[in-house]
């Protein structure tokens, strides 16, 4: 005689009933990145605000100067001027946002004790650290690229409108402008410099953020300054300062043209083979991997502040 079983069927929501195949491996990382964007809205608000200020300055400086110019030829020359400075301002803003985000990324959750909640979820420390590293290494560069492209298109449309209202030929503005090449080189610059070349900087800041109990910025900067002081006193050299400056500025051939200087063709800096053969790139990536691995281990054992 069969006796009724007292066991209750497992609920579909029971974690033990969920097989590994029901959840994509990348889904926790995806939702962790979305959480970072939701909790840190300055990631996209700050670049957008700076882009608005740049457009306002463009209206006042360029279009205002062109409208005030009586000579049609000089007016067209003003509107045709390339404005690399605007793109540089947006990229500098994104870099600053990434630096301050990394300084608070792991320290903030320990300070407000939300780390106790996040550790209770089925998300590993590796996924959490990678999601935080993805903000300056993936999200910010893509956001910067989109903002710069849209901003430059708005500038071109405004300049075109002024030319049309002045009765001038818009071909002087659009003909010599390789839009696709400029966008391609901009994306290449962001990936190579702001992602790969700056990766050890962001990884170091994340490591210090997970280790320091307070004054994260000082703990991130003071060791570097102390090493430079010791080197200068002991050997009267400045190799460390030169290495750090080179890491911040980027490799040779990746610097933007200063306002007012001679224009540079966009494809002149497009040399992936030269960049990938740079020893400093791979040394920096090795340090970045070591810093991120250390940050994962620190988060696993660090307690709330």
The predicted model gives 40-51 an average pLDDT of: 92
pLDDT of residue 140: 95
Alpha carbon 111 to its chain centroid, in Å, reads 24
pLDDT of residue 112: 80
Between these two residues, 117 and 77, which has the higher pLDDT value?
117
Residue 129 and residue 298 in contact, taking contact as beta carbons nearer than 8 Å = no
pLDDT of residue 76: 58
Within 8 A by CB and 6+ apart from 94, the residues are 47, 140, 141, 143, 144, 194
pLDDT of residue 142: 95
Model confidence at 296, pLDDT cuts 50, 70, 90, reads very high
The burial of 8, by beta-carbon neighbours within 10 Å (0-12 exposed, 13-18 middle, 19 or more buried), is given as: exposed
The mean pLDDT of the chain is 79
DSSP state of 139: I
pLDDT of residue 209: 93
Least confident span in 67-81, 134-148, 185-199, 264-278 = 67-81
Model confidence at 254, pLDDT cuts 50, 70, 90, reads low
pLDDT of residue 249: 84
Q: Give the whole-angstrom CA distance, residue 75 versus residue 68.
A: 8
Residue 133 and residue 203 in contact, taking contact as beta carbons nearer than 8 Å = yes
Whether the predicted pLDDT of 96 surpasses 60: yes
pLDDT of residue 292: 95
Highest-pLDDT range among 87-91, 116-120, 198-202:
198-202
pLDDT of residue 299: 87
pLDDT of residue 80: 56
Whether the predicted pLDDT of 271 surpasses 50: yes
Between these two residues, 80 and 267, which has the higher pLDDT value?
80
Q: Give the whole-angstrom CA distance, residue 145 versus residue 149.
A: 6
Q: Give the whole-angstrom CA distance, residue 236 versus residue 232.
A: 4
Number of neighbours of residue 70 by Cβ within 10 angstroms = 7
Model confidence at 77, pLDDT cuts 50, 70, 90, reads low
The predicted model gives 50-65 an average pLDDT of: 82
Model confidence at 22, pLDDT cuts 50, 70, 90, reads very low
Whether the predicted pLDDT of 94 surpasses 60: yes
The predicted model gives 268-297 an average pLDDT of: 87
Instruction: Classify residue 80 as left (phi > 0), alpha (psi -120 to 50) or beta.
Output: alpha
- Alpha carbon distances (Å) from 60 to 47, 105, 148, 278: 20, 38, 19, 42
**Percent of the residues in the chain that have a pLDDT greater than 70, as a whole number:** 74
Whether the predicted pLDDT of 135 surpasses 90: yes
Whether the predicted pLDDT of 205 surpasses 90: yes
């Amino acid at each position: 005689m069969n006796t009724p079983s007292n066991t209750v069927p497992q609920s579909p929501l029971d974690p033990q009933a969920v097989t590994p195949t029901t959840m994509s491996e990348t889904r926790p990382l995806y939702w962790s990145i979305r959480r970072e964007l939701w909790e840190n809205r300055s990631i996209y608000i700050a670049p957008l605000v700076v882009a608005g200020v740049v457009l306002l300055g463009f209206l006042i400086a360029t279009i205002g100067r062109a409208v005030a110019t009586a000579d049609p030829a000089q007016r067209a020359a003003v509107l045709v001027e390339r404005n690399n400075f605007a793109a540089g301002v947006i990229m500098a803003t994104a870099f600053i946002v990434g630096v301050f985000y990394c300084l608070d990324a792991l320290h903030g959750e320990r300070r407000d004790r939300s780390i106790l909640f996040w550790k209770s979820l089925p998300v590993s420390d590796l996924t959490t650290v990678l999601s935080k590293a993805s903000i300056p290494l993936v999200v910010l560069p893509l956001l910067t690229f989109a903002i710069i492209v849209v901003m430059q298109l708005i500038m071109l449309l405004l300049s075109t409108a002024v030319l049309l209202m002045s009765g001038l030929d818009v071909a002087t503005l659009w003909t010599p402008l390789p839009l696709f090449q400029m966008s391609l080189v901009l994306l290449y610059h962001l990936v190579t410099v702001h992602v790969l070349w700056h990766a050890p900087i962001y990884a170091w800041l994340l490591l210090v953020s997970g280790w320091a109990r307070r004054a994260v910025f000082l703990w991130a900067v003071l060791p570097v300054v102390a090493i430079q002081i010791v080197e200068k006193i002991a050997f009267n050299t400045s190799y460390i300062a030169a290495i750090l400056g080179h890491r911040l500025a980027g490799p040779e051939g990746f610097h933007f043209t200063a306002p007012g200087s001679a224009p540079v063709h966009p494809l002149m800096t497009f040399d992936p083979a030269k960049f990938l053969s740079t020893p400093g790139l791979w040394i920096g990536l090795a340090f970045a991997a070591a810093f991120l691995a250390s940050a994962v281990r620190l988060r696993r054992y660090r307690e709330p502040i």
